[in-house]
Amino acid sequence: MTMSERVQQLRRSRTPFVHATVVRAQQPASAHAGDQAILLLDGTIEGFVGGHCAQNSVRKAALGALQAGESVLLRVLPDGDVHFPEAPGACVVVNPCLSGGALEIFLDPQVPAPLVRICGTTPIAEALAAMVAALGYEVHRDGESDLAQATAVVIATHGGPEAEVIRAALDAGVGYVGLVASRVRGGAILDGLDLTDAERRRVHTPVGLSIGAKTPSEIAVSILAEVIRAVRVEGVTAPDRKVTACAPREEACHGHR
């Protein structure tokens, strides 16, 4: 499988990764300009962008790029007095075990858009699905994906197995669960689930920001606004997309001096 085919495969499966490309290399570095690699959340490197010491620096910086969702130009230097072309704004790592040479590697994080799982076929559910898609988020309906892939789950069935879906979403680790229901009915459903305080904070009912919404479309706007806040302000991500540090300890990346 070629690198481009692997990239497309990961995108289709909604797998976060970093595409690393060597853009400049100084001999005797083992990597060359144009070398590429894919770095996964567990620290796995597929491809080649340098030897063992360089890989440690790339791995740590790549995980940071995934957490921030921002691309990084990484400069890996063997000591603090290497003559290497300037790269203003680059992230610099001085790696004492690098055996000569220097590398400049572009790290491009590929983070799938938030996925909102919508349960139900009510007018609110239909309006919300259209708005989620228009926003550029991915929308799945009942049963289309594993709950662990969902950034948010919104239940707009007005009845049915609402409690069971809430329980399943919480057990899967979904950080935002919204239930379309009145305060009284929603409270009764949650009271019957014997939730912990932490679990209760993840369930929003009545769902949506308080903007005086009345129509299905207005309610959908209020729900989507609350989902956006959860994603952009509170940092909610899909349970299978948590980024954890797994690289060896080394000098932190700092701005180019």
Could you tell me if 128 and 100 are in contact, meaning their C-beta atoms sit under 8 angstroms apart?
A: no
- Evaluate if residue 252 carries a pLDDT over 60: no
- How does pLDDT run across 130-154, given as a tens digit for each residue? 999 999 999 999 877 789 889 999 9
- How does pLDDT run across 168-191, given as a tens digit for each residue? 999 999 999 999 999 999 999 999
Burial track 227-255 (b if 16+ CB lie within 10 A, e otherwise): beebbeeeebbbbbbebeeebeebeebee
Answer whether 0.75 is exceeded by the pTM.
no
Q: Give the model's pLDDT for residue 19.
A: 97
Q: Give the model's pLDDT for residue 115.
A: 95
Q: Give the model's pLDDT for residue 163.
A: 96
Top-confidence residue, 93 or 15:
15
- How does pLDDT run across 19-55, given as a tens digit for each residue? 999 998 887 778 899 999 999 999 999 999 988 878 8
The residues spanned by each domain of the chain are: 3-112+245-255, 115-236
Q: Give the model's pLDDT for residue 136.
A: 94
- pLDDT band at 256; cut points 50, 70, 90: very low
Token digits of residue 91: 């992230």
Q: Which fold has domain 115-236?
A: Rossmann fold (3.40.50)
- How does pLDDT run across 215-232, given as a tens digit for each residue? 999 999 999 999 999 999
- Evaluate if residue 248 carries a pLDDT over 50: no
Average pLDDT, the chain: 87
Please compute, for residue 246, the number of CA atoms within 13 A of its CA located in the half-sphere on the CB side.
Answer: 13
- Evaluate if residue 117 carries a pLDDT over 90: yes
- How does pLDDT run across 195-218, given as a tens digit for each residue? 999 999 999 999 999 999 999 999
Rounded Cα distance, 48 and 45, in Å: 8
Percent of the chain with pLDDT over 90: 63
Phi-psi region of 207 (alpha: psi -120 to 50; beta: other; left: phi over 0): beta
- Evaluate if residue 100 carries a pLDDT over 70: no
What does the radius of gyration of the chain's CA atoms come to, in whole angstroms? 23
